[in-house]
Amino acid sequence: MFERYNEPARRSLFFSRYEASVLGSHAIQTEHLLLGLLREREPLITQLLSTAHVTADAIRQLTYARIGAPAGPLDTSVEIPFSKDSKHVLAYTGEESDRLLHHHIGLEHLLLGLLRHERGVAWDVLQEKGLNLTAVREALVIYVSAKSFLPPEIAGMLAGMAPGSAPRAHRARGIYLMTVLDAPSPGRRATADDRGTGTFSSFSTVGFSTLADSTSDGRTHAIGPISMSAVTLTQFALVLEAFLDASVMVDDAAMGGSFDIELQGTYDNEDALIAALRDQLGLALKFA
């Protein structure tokens, strides 16, 4: 279950069990997950908490106050399972990692999972301290855009470089939110079989032109036509980022499934591209 968890996330789960034991709880609750997360003192978590101008110590103190006096520590040999609420949080944690196309699950995803599960002591504490799921998620998207690497398939299509060699460019212009409309979408069809395995089909093509050879900024100035097979909307969003020079976040309701995508035409401005996405693919794109 925890194969994808990186070392800080694994340690935080150990600390969560420790917190539950010391506090005399017979189940690892959401508040124990939160306390375990905060024990790691991860710089990225500090950065994400700063979206609400709050510190880890302030959250920790409020959490202990909400828990109240412990019932007495449990024997260290007692097995402590995850509560139903904590299992929901861990499921959301994996989904948030998938949203960012990460191969690992880290503390940042655990924080998002705690914010998505709108019940329990942890959620109450985070809400009281002003932490907002959308704001934290957007801050993480910006961080990922600046620090992470594109999947090799996208790097190859957009940069023309050897797989894995192109760092994902910093997106300084904010965040777009992609949602699915109810209107017909002739250019976006659900994949008929199980080809959507999280990698790009070798038949996917993206037409684009760049000023990299003639200017210093290397900005992509036109995109299209696009033909992609068995891709998720999250993967498609990564391709759009190169032209928009902004991060593109996919709405929760639009994350499932894989699609064959055909976008006709070539677009050299955002308004024209956004209109084409709406009319041809039934996708709405707006600033979050």
Give me the chain's average pLDDT, please.
81
Beta bridge partners of 262: 227
Cα 64 to chain centroid distance, Å, stands at: 29
Given this model, what pLDDT does residue 162 score? 31
Q: Is-contact 41 139, C-beta < 8 A? A: no
Given this model, what pLDDT does residue 238 score? 79
Q: For the whole model, what pTM was predicted?
A: 0.59
Given this model, what pLDDT does residue 122 score? 97
Given this model, what pLDDT does residue 17 score? 93
List of the chain residues with pLDDT < 50: 149-151, 153, 158-171, 194-202, 212-215
Tally of CB atoms within 10 A around 175: 19
pLDDT tens string 188-217: 998 865 444 444 444 567 777 765 444 455
Query: For the chain, which domains are there?
Result: 7-146 (1.10.1780.10), 150-287 (no CATH)
Tokens of 23: 């506090």
Give the Cα separation of 239 and 156 in Å (integer): 11
Given this model, what pLDDT does residue 242 score? 74
Given this model, what pLDDT does residue 147 score? 55
Q: Is-contact 224 207, C-beta < 8 A? A: yes
